[in-house]
Structure 1
């Protein structure tokens, strides 16, 4: 199969899974904003984000090793899965000893038991799903994504609407859905057959951990760049302000949705492309189309942010729309930086991923402390954008030693400038903003359409 067609096919299959799970953000927003107060949603967000921070630490980031080494046919599948499983269980036992520390964190101290269960179930689900993806069981992977969507919606209705469990119900819905996914994948894919207490190759666990462990701080720093602003907003401006800010994060996930659908398929294609002569051209062509789609999607979201927010959230959360534009820009550059991170994935250079994300996290914290007191919540959004842009620039320069991608710098700067103008006009509601926004969208669409059409032609020919 043509490598472009293969990428599109895998993107379509993974899209079924990713789209169904990501669409939850929009399907459940009306429910969350009606049954939870601004303050409750702010606390819920901190609980979930704290758990997401703990997952790579507790699991030693082994899911990264499972997908990367699982794709390498020279490794035993049982060695890969068993290493992943025993690493997670061992890490969780150690994690249990840290309860006194967790119980002292403001806002989440009353929910430590839920956080423990959340971390374990999420780690196990990620292990199972990444393993079947590494084995290229893409249809099963997609079906599990759809199943997870259905169960999550069902549990949210049960816990939040019927039982009215509030914050506890929100977290329990995620835990319950993850548990069912683990059970489903464990037996459907017969994962129990891959559990071996004796490794065929003793070097596999060591190599997986060598690859995965440097990605722990990398994941943490990425989390810091993406989430630390919410904690700073909560401490400086209060949980209610963070509730609005957390809601505003949901709308930019449309861009993340497009990115994550593509990225899962892209990893398979990137690793499979061995021909150095054509690899740079392949990576460049894909990046140009990918970045064009990202910028067009971002422009559409900024243009329509008021309407989307009005439809999806209750009146109490409507003010969150003004925080969205800068977060859309941040998410766009996060996606572009992640694409370049795939080069580290291919080359197994997890240490370089660590360095670039560390710098991004450092920039983010410094800018948050400077901009939030001066500009409030929007200062946090702009700080996040600048930090992701910094990571992208660093990776664009650093990855050239492995694969030279032509990023079309002039077009990138033009797209960024147009999005910045769109965001500013929208936030300040400048006179005739609707007409200006439409004009800017048409402009960004026209500039980016060519690269998309070029690769569509490659699929047809």
Structure 2
């Protein structure tokens, strides 16, 4: 299969698994907000985000390492997988030994055990799933996502509605889903046969750690950029406002889910493309379509922010709609930044991922400290957008020198200005503000629609030629 066909095929398969499964969880928000008060939802989010902070430390970044090295044709796959598991077992033991330190964080009092099992379950699931993905088992990788989500939903219904377990039930549902889907993937894929500790070599472990360990601070910096504002909101404004803010983040998450699905497929195709001239043209074409779809989706989300909030959240969370517009802007640029990060992955330049992520984290913390005391959650949302925007400017100017592709700057400027204008209109008190916002949405469709159509038609033509040759 050619690169266009491979990208389309992988994207569709991953969309069914990743996007489809996460979409189901997304529509569980009415249940979550009905069963959990804003303060409780804030605590559940705090537990999850604390675990996400600790996950890369507790696995030494092996999920990324096992994917990148198992992708290489000349690598011993058993050695890569077995080495990753050895590292994971050692780091998990160290994490367990150090976990009592979490007691010093009083907000987690009584819930440390949930954080620990959340981290361990997530890491083993990630390493197994990424190895299966690297072996080209995309359908099984996606099926695992669907099954994991289905299990989480079943446990949610059981623990939240049946046993009324509140925060504990919410988090435990995710943990049990991870554990059971990991067992499923191991048994069905047969990759457990690739576990052979005799193939583990010190040199291979060192090589993988050299790639994955520098990505740990990168992951932490991204966590700071996207999540640290919630911790500051709790300390400065209280748990209730943080609960509203955390709930408001869920709708823009649709954009990051789309990005995650596409980039997972895109990374697979980008690594396999070896011809530099073809790679440059491929990057340019794909980025043009990617940003077009992204901005159109973001514009629609901003335009319909009020009805989306009414549909997804309980009445007690309605005020969170005001944060949706700046958070949508933030997630849009988060997606663009993630796409550009694939250039660093292709070139194995993880140090630049680290440096740009550090820049975003510093900007985010400074702006949060300046804006949250005065503007509360709105200040946090603006700080997040500004951070991702700054990182995009730096990555955009640098990555085009590593892979010669075009960003389409004039269209980026127009799309961004239109989204910012929409955000101001929706939040304003103008009489016809939604009409004006709808006109901006229409302009974004007019500018981006033809480019997306050309990209899709080109992919379909290439697929047809491929079929005719067979």
User: TM > 0.5 between the two?
Assistant: yes
1:296 matched to 2:288? The reply is no
Alpha carbons 1:25, 1:250 under 8 Å: kept: no
Alpha carbons 1:156, 1:173 under 8 Å: kept: yes
* Partner SS for 1:414: helix
1:260 matched to 2:260? The reply is yes
* Partner SS for 1:42: helix
Aligned to 1:82: 82
Query: Which has the higher mean CA deviation after the structures are superposed, 194-203 or 223-232?
Result: 194-203
Aligned to 2:19: 19
CA deviations over 1:251-286 (Å, ceiling 9, x no partner): 001111211111110011000110012111110110
Written as runs of structure 1 = structure 2, the 5 A alignment for 1:53-92 is 53-92=53-92
How many Å apart are 1:201 and its aligned residue? 5.2
Measured in 2, the distance between the counterparts of 1:254 and 1:300 equals: 12
Measured in 2, the distance between the counterparts of 1:42 and 1:241 equals: 9
Measured in 2, the distance between the counterparts of 1:312 and 1:123 equals: 30
Aligned to 1:393: 393
Alpha carbons 2:340, 2:395 under 8 Å: kept: yes
Aligned to 1:215: 215
Alpha carbons 1:305, 1:324 under 8 Å: kept: yes
How many Å apart are 1:330 and its aligned residue? 0.4
Alpha carbons 1:76, 1:200 under 8 Å: kept: no
- Aligned in 2, Cα 1:163/1:288: closer, same or farther, shift over 3 Å? same
Measured in 2, the distance between the counterparts of 1:233 and 1:357 equals: 22
How many Å apart are 1:212 and its aligned residue? 0.0
Alpha carbons 1:55, 1:123 under 8 Å: kept: yes
* Partner SS for 2:305: helix
1:193 matched to 2:193? The reply is yes
Query: Which has the higher mean CA deviation after the structures are superposed, 398-407 or 329-338?
Result: 398-407
Measured in 2, the distance between the counterparts of 1:445 and 1:315 equals: 32
Aligned to 2:178: 178
Alpha carbons 1:125, 1:179 under 8 Å: kept: yes
* Partner SS for 2:254: helix
Aligned to 2:419: 419
Aligned to 2:233: 233
How many Å apart are 1:173 and its aligned residue? 0.2
Alpha carbons 1:60, 1:88 under 8 Å: kept: yes
How many Å apart are 1:200 and its aligned residue? 5.9
Query: Which has the higher mean CA deviation after the structures are superposed, 197-206 or 370-379?
Result: 197-206
- Aligned in 2, Cα 1:120/1:422: closer, same or farther, shift over 3 Å? same
Alpha carbons 2:83, 2:197 under 8 Å: kept: no
How many Å apart are 1:202 and its aligned residue? 4.3
Aligned pairs, number: 461
CA deviations over 1:168-201 (Å, ceiling 9, x no partner): 0001000110011111011111222122222265
How many Å apart are 1:352 and its aligned residue? 0.9
* Partner SS for 1:23: helix
Alpha carbons 2:322, 2:427 under 8 Å: kept: yes
Alpha carbons 1:425, 1:433 under 8 Å: kept: yes
How many Å apart are 1:374 and its aligned residue? 2.0
CA deviations over 1:199-237 (Å, ceiling 9, x no partner): 265432211110000000000001100000111111110
Aligned to 1:120: 120
* Partner SS for 1:376: helix
How many Å apart are 1:450 and its aligned residue? 2.0
Written as runs of structure 1 = structure 2, the 5 A alignment for 1:346-361 is 346-361=346-361
Aligned to 2:203: 203
1:99 matched to 2:84? The reply is no
Written as runs of structure 1 = structure 2, the 5 A alignment for 1:233-382 is 233-382=233-382
Measured in 2, the distance between the counterparts of 1:26 and 1:436 equals: 29
Measured in 2, the distance between the counterparts of 1:420 and 1:437 equals: 10
CA deviations over 1:412-435 (Å, ceiling 9, x no partner): 111111111111111234321221
Aligned to 2:464: none
Q: Which runs of 4+ in 1 moved over 6 A?
A: none
Measured in 2, the distance between the counterparts of 1:308 and 1:23 equals: 14
* Partner SS for 2:379: helix
* Partner SS for 1:107: helix
Alpha carbons 1:33, 1:313 under 8 Å: kept: yes
Measured in 2, the distance between the counterparts of 1:63 and 1:393 equals: 28
Aligned to 2:465: none
CA deviations over 1:229-249 (Å, ceiling 9, x no partner): 111111110011100000000
CA deviations over 1:279-337 (Å, ceiling 9, x no partner): 11110110010001100000000001100110111100111111110000000000000
Alpha carbons 2:33, 2:314 under 8 Å: kept: yes
Measured in 2, the distance between the counterparts of 1:367 and 1:430 equals: 28
Measured in 1, the distance between the counterparts of 2:408 and 2:130 equals: 33
Alpha carbons 1:70, 1:134 under 8 Å: kept: yes
How many Å apart are 1:95 and its aligned residue? 1.1
Measured in 2, the distance between the counterparts of 1:182 and 1:156 equals: 19
Structure 1 residue ranges without an equivalent (≥5): none
Structure 2 residue ranges without an equivalent (≥5): 462-470
Measured in 2, the distance between the counterparts of 1:142 and 1:429 equals: 44
**TM, length-normalised to structure 2:** 0.96
**TM, length-normalised to structure 1:** 0.98
CA deviations over 1:63-122 (Å, ceiling 9, x no partner): 110110010011111111112212122111111222332111132132111111110000
